[in-house]
Amino acid sequence: MALVKVLSLSSMLLLVSYAIAAPVHGSEISQFSLTSYWEPHPGSLSEGGCDDHIEDLKVSWGEACLASNKAKHEIKWLGRTGFLTQGKGPSPSTDKEERERWDRVYNTYIALFGEIYDKKGRELRYSDHDTRIRRVYKFYSMMSAACKTKPNPKKKPQNLFCGDAWLTWIPVGYPDPEQSEKMVEETQFAEENAVEAGGIWYNDLLDEGRRRLILEPPTNSNDPKICNGELACTFVGQSIVIWCPPGLSQAPSVLATEARIKSVPFTSELDAMAKVKDGTLTSIYSPPGTSGGDMIATWIHEMGHHLMGWIDEQAVNRRGKRKWKKGHDWDTRKQKWVASEKTEVLVTSWKLASQLATWDPDKAVMNPENYAFFGMAMLLDDWDWHHGGYAQPIKRVP
């Protein structure tokens, strides 16, 4: 089966220096080791190496792990508490703090994953074997387990690369770099999949079975590589994640800006956007002093692809209709990129993530971006983010 290229489209924070980021929540984050689970390729970006970015990758991995761990515990608590109260939550008259916690976590869950309970207080099912909330818990549980991986000499870590200079595109009809008597599509490693994709992405850094990677050819002749402006990408089923240059320029720490988050009430989406612009309100996309994206969210997003094999889901509008745009799609029959009036719009914002949860919650619980947002919201738990991804004061119980 052809490998799937999946791209991180999270957009939240800009570069914050490691010197500032490192001390924040250091004792909590130190339990998560990047190199226990990942094997960062050594060397410079031009070699696919991560040496120049290793500290930022360590900090952001630690915070992504902390976010996922918090999300896991909150989902577990939400499910248990909902079961005991038939979906109503703690009584505000007997436990004010637990009620405030319920309102924050429960409302954020609904905003990003849809309703949990039916009218009788029973958990809504995702399938015959699972409920939606258990599906969500499963991802954060699996990521938490990955984060707590201990060094094991008998088990090789997952492959982590920076940049795409280590991959070369070889079209169908050209000799295989290792079996020159055969064309690239004729080797046992490529065959039909290479024909559909129009060629292979070749590398000499991995073992023989993974030197010929299958996905669509470059879309831009001026930048004939995989990244082409993306934040990161994952080869599903191949234990390979690539951090691209734009992703590596994101903020490695959201916690470094936590103290500067602004939270004021707003009356509408336009009012919220105006307040974000004038600096009186913080959006989960852009905590203070940052603007270009957040490595933490990108990590969680890519782990959705890496651990679960999920793709990025198509967005829907406020009426639940699928969103399209003009673009280019790879035509396997014509073996070329063709102009399209109906290229899928993917979920790339809180608004689109929430609309997907409203109209198609079964897809929302399989969409990496929804998990990235929820993880961020659980990490920044001094605020309530469920109103459009804007920092709001936690509603206190009288």
Residue-range domain boundaries for the chain: 5-167+225-312+347-379
d(CA 116, CA 78) in angstroms, rounded, equals: 10
Q: Alpha carbon of 219 to those of 174, 199, 255, 324: distances in Å?
A: 19, 13, 36, 19
Lowest mean pLDDT among 7-16, 151-160, 280-289, 386-395: 7-16
Neighbours of 333 (CB within 10 A): 7
Query: With bands split at pLDDT 50, 70 and 90, how would you rate the model's confidence at 8?
Result: very low
Nearest CA to 288 among 246, 248, 254?
254
Average the pLDDT over 289-293 and give the result: 59
d(CA 292, CA 339) in angstroms, rounded, equals: 29
d(CA 85, CA 265) in angstroms, rounded, equals: 30
Q: What are the structure tokens assigned to 291, written together?
A: 């603007």
d(CA 57, CA 296) in angstroms, rounded, equals: 9
Cβ-contact 14, 292 below 8 angstroms: yes
d(CA 106, CA 180) in angstroms, rounded, equals: 59
Question: What pLDDT does 85 receive?
Answer: 92
Cβ-contact 114, 132 below 8 angstroms: yes
**Bridge-partner residues for 123, per DSSP?**
117
Q: What are the structure tokens assigned to 5, written together?
A: 């290229």
Percent of residues, the chain, with pLDDT higher than 90: 65
Cβ-contact 233, 161 below 8 angstroms: no
DSSP strand pairing (240-243 vs 158-162): parallel
| Fold adopted by 5-167+225-312+347-379 | Collagenase (Catalytic Domain) (3.40.390)
Question: What pLDDT does 236 receive?
Answer: 86
Higher per-residue confidence, 242 vs 12: 242
Per-residue pLDDT at 3 exceeds 60: no
Lowest mean pLDDT among 33-37, 169-173, 192-196, 332-336: 192-196
Per-residue pLDDT at 286 exceeds 80: no
Lowest mean pLDDT among 104-113, 115-124, 236-245, 267-276: 115-124
Tens digit of each residue's pLDDT (9 = 90 or more) over 211-263: 988 888 888 776 768 898 889 999 988 889 999 999 999 989 989 888 889 99
Lowest mean pLDDT among 220-224, 327-331, 349-353: 220-224
3-state secondary structure of 61: helix
Query: With bands split at pLDDT 50, 70 and 90, how would you rate the model's confidence at 347?
Result: very high
Q: Alpha carbon of 55 to those of 8, 13, 14, 251, 284: distances in Å?
A: 20, 17, 16, 12, 23
pTM, full prediction: 0.90
d(CA 215, CA 226) in angstroms, rounded, equals: 9
Per-residue pLDDT at 5 exceeds 60: no
Query: With bands split at pLDDT 50, 70 and 90, how would you rate the model's confidence at 23?
Result: very low
Task: Identify the residue whose tokens are 């280019």.
Answer: 328
Question: What pLDDT does 237 receive?
Answer: 82
Question: What pLDDT does 22 receive?
Answer: 39
d(CA 197, CA 362) in angstroms, rounded, equals: 29
∠ CA 131-136-141, nearest 5°, is 120
Question: What pLDDT does 153 receive?
Answer: 82
- Establish how many alpha carbons lie within 13 A of residue 89's alpha carbon, considering only the half-sphere containing its beta carbon: 17
Percent of residues, the chain, with pLDDT higher than 70: 90
Cβ-contact 252, 50 below 8 angstroms: no
Nearest CA to 375 among 131, 61, 157?
61
- Establish how many alpha carbons lie within 13 A of residue 224's alpha carbon, considering only the half-sphere containing its beta carbon: 8
Question: What pLDDT does 129 receive?
Answer: 80
Per-residue pLDDT at 88 exceeds 80: yes
d(CA 41, CA 357) in angstroms, rounded, equals: 37
